[in-house]
Every structure is written in structure tokens, then in C-alpha cells.
Amino acid sequence: MSEFISSNPDTVKCPVCNSTETIPIFKKDVLPLYNLERHYTRESALNARKGNVDFYFCLACQFAFNAVFDSSLMDYWVDYESGRSYSKYFVKYIDSVCRSINDVFSIADQTIVEIGCGNGDFLIKLRELFEFQGIGFDPSCKIRLLDSSQKDLTFISNYYDSAKVGREPDLIILRHILEHQGRVIRFLKGILIEQRLKPKAIYIEVPGFEWIVKNKNSFLFSYEHPSYFTKYSLRLALDQKTSKD
Ligand SMILES: [Zn+2]
């Protein structure tokens, strides 16, 4: 059952600004639920769980979303591989991201929480460059051996829980997490309001919808990415995180 759509297609409501000024932009039936789930046999791949996408674009706030997304189908307790650290080009990019974050928010001696840390590569790269206390959360995170230089890092194979952090995080990192959320405002409220977090800063990285349109990358309209932001709609979502969802 969709969280956004009613029986009347004219009343598809934007989950960021609640406007019904939305237009359909991309529809496809039967896509795998997960882009990056590993399958070891052809039969397993063919039998992967699937869902439908029906993307709408909000004319009021420029947010694009899958109107038939059902978050209850997605738990990420699957064999999931999002690592790209084997790519030298990507590692160079990540290095630049780490340094850019530190340019804005001095990382040394801070407590940093990454929600949706994947296999932990980003926090480990950040720790190679700067000294801080880091905690990563992700249901798909594998327990990994850390070397002595990474003793300040902890990885928890579960959803984010402030009780497991022990102290108020100074910086929260959300890299490629928001595009996976069907209810973006509820998600932001969940981590910032209900868990009473007041970090000094939040770093957010998402695929830009402007880039998708410019490059005509329709393959990015997948089931596990129900939410695509422009800069404007992301700013609006952050402004609205305290409003009623
Ligand atoms: Zn909107």
C-alpha cells in the first residue's frame, strides 16, 4: 500500500511540502527492491523480491518521489554491497569529501556518527585523515576487523540508536541515506527530534535531481531510491523537519 497515493491519481501528495501540484514523470513495473543486493546464483537473482515505481515530480518544491513506494518492504537485512573503495577514482573523490567536511567543520576530537555507514569505508577513510571518535550504524554493516589506528571507531550492525552512542554527537553524517527514505520528514524527525539530537552540524550527501535530469539518467529511478532532491527541496525538507508530518 503506497504511503502517498490515493485512488485518485490527481491527488498524489508531495511528502516534503504536501502540495498536490505533482506530475507523473517515470513509471515501471517489477524492479528489484535492492540495487546492490548480492545474488550468488542466476535463480536467486531472477527470484529477487521486486516492487513497482511510479515517480512524480512536485511543481511546488521540485522534489521527485516514488508514489507507490512501500517502506515496509525494505529492511536492508540483506547481503548488500555498497563499497566502491576498489576504485582509485572513487577513493580520490572520497578523500576530497573528507577534506571538504573538515574545511567547514573542524573534525579533530569530535564525536561523529554516520547513519547508514554501509561497510564503514567512509568513516575509516575519515579516520585516516583526522582523529575523532566515530560510530557507524547500518543493518547491512558487517563486523570487521579494525587495525590499531582505527581504535576510535565502532560499527554497529543495526539501525541508529542514540542510546548506543553514549554522548551527544557533534557531527552526524548522512551519506546517500535520504534518497532511500519514503517519508523523509519523518526520518529526519526520528533522528533529530525523537532521539533529541542537537548536533553542531549535519553532513548530507544525496544524488542531485538536477544532475539526473541533465544527464538523462533514468536508470536511477529504482525502487530503493524513492526520494530525489534538488537543492531547493532538500533545504525545504530540512526546514520542515520540526513540522507535523
Ligand atoms: Zn513538494
Q: Where are the domains of the chain?
A: 9-75+207-239, 88-175
Distance (Å) from CA 232 to ligand 1 centroid:
10
pLDDT of 37 reads 86
Distance (Å) from CA 66 to ligand 1 centroid:
13
CA distance 8 to 69: 16
Residues 6+ apart with CB under 8 A from 89: none
pLDDT digits (tens, 9 = 90+) for 14-61: 999 999 999 999 999 989 998 888 899 999 999 989 999 999 999 999
Distance (Å) from CA 203 to ligand 1 centroid:
22
pTM: 0.83
pLDDT of 21 reads 94
Distance (Å) from CA 34 to ligand 1 centroid:
25
CATH code of the region 88-175: 3.40.50.150
pLDDT digits (tens, 9 = 90+) for 106-119: 999 999 999 999 88
8-state DSSP, 71: G
pLDDT of 93 reads 93
**Where do the DSSP E strands lie in 116-238?**
133-137, 153-156, 171-175, 201-205, 227-228
Distance (Å) from CA 178 to ligand 1 centroid:
15
State which amino acid sits at residue 130.
Answer: F
Q: Answer yes or no: are the C-beta atoms of 142 and 84 closer than 8 Å.
A: no
**Where do the DSSP E strands lie in the chain?**
22-32, 50-58, 64-66, 111-115, 133-137, 153-156, 171-175, 201-205, 227-228
Distance (Å) from CA 223 to ligand 1 centroid:
20
Distance (Å) from CA 19 to ligand 1 centroid:
5
Distance (Å) from CA 99 to ligand 1 centroid:
33
Distance (Å) from CA 16 to ligand 1 centroid:
5
Residues of the chain below pLDDT 50: 1, 6-7, 244-245
* Measured CA distances, 177 to 57, 116, 137 (Å): 20, 6, 12
pLDDT of 85 reads 75
Distance (Å) from CA 117 to ligand 1 centroid:
28
